[in-house]
């Protein structure tokens, strides 16, 4: 067998990939449109039955008065925070140090909306009520990300969420949910989407993560809030002439995958247990609270990468196509998200792969 040079190449050539739903290729769109009649009317500039019906459907699911479809969550969340800051006349919001707005959006909130962020809690844990109580100065809005992706998908308890929500309402602070992976945490909380969302004044959800659609997001809240969000959506250039490819794929895959979130969650717990039985490997959290978690190796990337490549070549099982070197360079990690693929892989293939991983890691420690 020819030596495969990169981890990504080795991963892409495996027969059994343990993560998410499958390759994001054109088939994702073809499958979503296979039963759509060609004479279905398109939406135009944010209006039309195809977008109205989907927005109403999602608003009902989230327990909110109204919802607006956006081409991206980055756009939706910046707009949500802008609306709350304008309403209170206070351009200041609080969120976690590893919030998407802080580390992935090139300071869009600051540069486009001139809103000052206040970073809450230590970067390695979730925001707690005491963090909110101890904020210095006033804020218009608090953003909570459930789950907190950059620290393995950790979650506060539901009781802690209720306490934070009650405190914010007492203090006149708006509470916004970054629910990009909202549906993925419902099996852990044993709550409906509406029960979680009732704690928040506004909610954003994503359609391309656990749901696996093309792209797109929904922003939900009260009627006045969503009315304002439509104005800001137009200002941001979010009213494309047609959004139906995103809307129809979001609807198609939501119907398929929302009922499977319990399955994905249970698969994540099972897989994390296999990782934690291996030497030099731990997961964060140790027991997942959603369908995703992080895998940490107490070995440098330079040692782990060839181990994984060898594993993929000999077992045809792919664990991850990327490996991140941690800051101290003596450890490395990657993210795992469970979707449709995991349940379809023969158990003996998975068991054999982790037996081989255990062997390779023990050899590396010698």
| 232 and 319 within one domain | no
Q: What is the pLDDT of residue 22?
A: 86
Q: Which long-range contacts (CB under 8 A, 24 or more apart) does 298-303 make?
A: 298/330, 298/331, 299/330, 299/331, 299/332, 299/361, 299/364, 300/325, 300/329, 300/330, 300/331, 300/332, 301/325, 301/329, 301/332, 303/364
The CATH number given to whatever domain includes residue 328 is 3.90.1150.10
| 59 and 19 within one domain | no
Question: In sequence order, what are the residues at sequence separation of 6 or more whose Cβ sits closer than 8 angstroms to the Cβ of residue 80?
Answer: 141, 176, 202, 204, 219, 221, 225, 229
Q: What is the pLDDT of residue 1?
A: 44
The CATH number given to whatever domain includes residue 72 is 3.40.640.10
Contact at 8 Å (CB) between 219 and 296?
no
**Strand ranges in 65-179 using DSSP code E only, listed in sequence order:** 66-70, 92-95, 116-119, 141-145, 174-179
d(CA 230, CA 79): 9
Q: What is the pLDDT of residue 80?
A: 98
- Determine, yes or no, domain membership for 99: yes
Within 13 Å, how many C-alpha atoms sit on residue 135's CB side?
25
Segments forming the whole domain that contains residue 139: 43-241
| 285 and 162 within one domain | no
- Determine, yes or no, domain membership for 161: yes
Q: What is the pLDDT of residue 327?
A: 72
Q: What is the pLDDT of residue 235?
A: 97
d(CA 196, CA 212): 22
| 180 and 108 within one domain | yes
| 233 and 91 within one domain | yes
- For the chain, residues with pLDDT lower than 70 are 1-4, 328, 366
| 65 and 214 within one domain | yes
| 84 and 217 within one domain | yes
Q: What is the pLDDT of residue 3?
A: 55
Q: Show which of 177, 210, 241 is a domain's final residue.
A: 241
- Determine, yes or no, domain membership for 37: no
Question: In sequence order, what are the residues at sequence separation of 6 or more whose Cβ sits closer than 8 angstroms to the Cβ of residue 187?
Answer: 261, 262, 265, 266, 290
3-state class percentages of the chain: helix first, strand second, coil last, to nearest 5: 45, 15, 35
Is the bond into 285 cis (omega within 30 degrees of 0)?
yes
| 16 and 106 within one domain | no
Q: How many domains does the chain have?
A: 2
Give the predicted TM-score (pTM) of the model: 0.96
- Determine, yes or no, domain membership for 178: yes
């Amino acid at each position: 067998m020819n030596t495969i040079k990169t981890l990504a190449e080795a991963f892409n050539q495996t027969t059994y990939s343990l993560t998410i739903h499958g390759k994001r290729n054109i088939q994702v769109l073809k499958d979503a449109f296979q039963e759509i009649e060609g004479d279905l009317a398109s939406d135009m500039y944010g209006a039309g039955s195809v977008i109205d019906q989907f927005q109403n459907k999602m608003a009902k699911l989230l327990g909110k008065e109204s919802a607006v479809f956006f081409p991206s969550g980055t756009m939706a969340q910046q707009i949500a925070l802008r609306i709350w800051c304008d309403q209170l006349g206070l351009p200041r919001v609080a969120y976690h140090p590893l919030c998407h707005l802080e580390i992935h959006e090139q300071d869009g909130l600051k540069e486009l909306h001139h809103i000052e962020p206040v970073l809450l809690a230590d970067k390695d844990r979730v925001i707690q009520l005491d963090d909110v109580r101890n904020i210095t100065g006033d804020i218009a809005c608090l953003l909570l990300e459930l789950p907190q992706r950059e620290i393995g998908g950790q979650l506060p308890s539901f009781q802690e969420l209720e306490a934070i929500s009650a405190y914010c309402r007492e203090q006149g602070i708006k509470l916004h949910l970054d629910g990009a992976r909202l549906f993925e945490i419902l099996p852990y909380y044993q709550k409906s989407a509406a029960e979680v969302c009732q704690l928040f004044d506004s909610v954003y959800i994503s359609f391309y993560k656990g749901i696996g659609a093309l792209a797109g997001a929904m922003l939900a809240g009260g009627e006045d809030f969503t009315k304002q969000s439509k104005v800001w959506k137009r200002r941001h250039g979010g009213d494309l002439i047609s959004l139906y490819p995103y809307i129809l794929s979001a609807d198609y895959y939501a119907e398929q995958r929302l009922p499977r979130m319990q399955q994905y969650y249970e698969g994540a717990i099972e897989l994390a247990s296999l990782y934690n039985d291996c030497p030099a490997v731990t997961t964060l959290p140790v027991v997942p609270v959603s369908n995703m978690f992080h895998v940490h190796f107490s070995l440098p990337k330079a040692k782990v990468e060839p181990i994984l490549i060898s594993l993929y070549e000999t077992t045809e099982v792919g664990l991850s196509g990327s490996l991140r070197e941690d800051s101290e360079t003596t450890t490395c990690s990657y993210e795992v998200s469970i979707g449709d693929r995991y349940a379809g892989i023969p158990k003996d293939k998975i068991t054999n792969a982790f037996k081989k991983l255990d062997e390779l890691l023990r050899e590396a420690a010698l």
